[in-house]
Amino acid sequence: MNKSIPLNSIDNNARPYGIFMTYLLTCLGVAVFIITKLFEKTERLYTSAPSRLPQKRHVVIFATLATCSLFSTWGFMFQYFQWSYNNWLTVRSQHDLDPTVKHWGLWLKETSLFREAWESVIVGHNRYWWSHQIFYWACALGLHLEWKGVRRGITYTWAFMLLGQIVAISFATNLYFLTLLLSPPQQQPITPNPKEFTNPKESRSEAPELAPVSKPRKWLGPWLIDGLSVTNTYAAANCLSRENYWNGSPGFMPLLLVPHVVLLILPMARAILPAKFFPIGDPKTVNKIYKFLWTSNFTFVGQLVWTTYKAYLAGNLGGIRDALLEHPAVGSVGFDVIFCWISWICWWQIQSDKSSYVMSDL
């Protein structure tokens, strides 16, 4: 918090208001964009291939999870805004601010909400136990977007990653699952058997002309960017567990911004650059690479065990439970993590349902 600005020098708070409202409108705009696409996909699928519509109960599950995750995380987020304002007002009371007047503009001008929130959620092993998991769930979403989402023809993967970072990873993940359900795999064209044509002249004249099949491009592809992104995210998440980053270290913000930037590189690049810059690669090789990256992402379980052990040494395991509700910023991130666990477990569970077409691709 910057307390060096004298009150009489603050005449215009349009800039902080503008930044804050731009943030909220961006959150709303990206969410509306994705939800609009969902309705368009539903209408298109209902019209062209009603038999390929997903099971209603699967749609209900993820729509419910999306709603619950949004209300829980942002319920705490609005509580955090109020907490931050009250904390700021207490500190600034030495300047004789009138507590009956709302000083929203001055508060926004002097407070870095993003930094303040993250400094609150990583301090102490109990809080870090909750907050560090969200980095790995962000990586899980990013890997799945590139591995499966792109194959399903989802061209706006950037929207899900951006929404996850500015609203909630669990909310974006559930909207992504709904989009996958409404984006069935492309049906492979049936290749005619030449033996079925008994008359050579007939075979030449009536056999459909097939498009030439292009050879898979070289194996070196977009997965490399994903691999570097998740590696840097792992490193940043692990570094934030060090106590020297818990007390306003100068390197805190650059380290915190690393995951936010690197996980957006590939989705944003896909939105800007032509498709020729993203080689398809050999499907078998790409699958093996992404399976490896996906498996390596769950090494965070080891980090989770280690963090649990350090929390135990620092006090007792009950502190982890208590930390969830002791600060609104921790509650927002904590429930984001909880709904990520629930959502992915539900997604994996429906994959065991053989009646769902989604299983053939995932």
Locate 91 and state its tokens: 């500190």
- Helix or strand run (H / E) with residue 255: helix 252-272
Model confidence at 96: pLDDT above 80: no
With a pLDDT cut of 70, the percent of the chain lying above it is: 83
- DSSP secondary structure code for residue 149 in this structure: I
The string of DSSP letters for 96-120 reads: T--TTS--HHHHHHH--HHHHHHHH
- The Cα–Cα gap between 85 and 104 comes to 8
Contact 66, 178 (CB under 8 A): yes
Q: How confident is the model at residue 184 (pLDDT cuts 50, 70, 90)?
A: confident
Q: Quote the radius of gyration of the chain (alpha carbons, Å).
A: 25
Q: How confident is the model at residue 194 (pLDDT cuts 50, 70, 90)?
A: very low
Q: How confident is the model at residue 186 (pLDDT cuts 50, 70, 90)?
A: low
- DSSP secondary structure code for residue 222 in this structure: T
Write the CB contacts of 252 (distance below 8 Å, at least 6 apart in sequence): 115, 118, 119, 245
Locate 245 and state its tokens: 């980053």
> How high is the pLDDT of residue 156?
95
Q: What is the mean pLDDT of residues 283-299?
A: 82
Q: What average pLDDT does the chain have?
A: 83
The string of DSSP letters for 288-344 reads: HHHHHHHHHHTTHHHHHHHHHHHHHHHS-THHHHHHHHHSHHHHHHHHHHHHHHHHH
Model confidence at 222: pLDDT above 70: yes
- The Cα–Cα gap between 57 and 245 comes to 45
pLDDT tens digits, one per residue of 120-162: 999 888 999 999 999 999 999 999 999 899 988 899 999 999 9
pLDDT tens digits, one per residue of 257-280: 999 999 999 999 999 998 888 877
- The Cα–Cα gap between 362 and 271 comes to 24
With a pLDDT cut of 90, the percent of the chain lying above it is: 48
> How high is the pLDDT of residue 198?
47
Q: What is the pTM assigned to this prediction?
A: 0.85
Closest C-alpha to 338, from 75, 69, 117, 142: 69
> How high is the pLDDT of residue 353?
67
Cα three-residue angle 119-160-277, rounded to 5 degrees: 110
pLDDT tens digits, one per residue of 1-60: 444 444 444 447 888 999 999 999 999 999 999 999 999 999 998 888 887 888 899 999
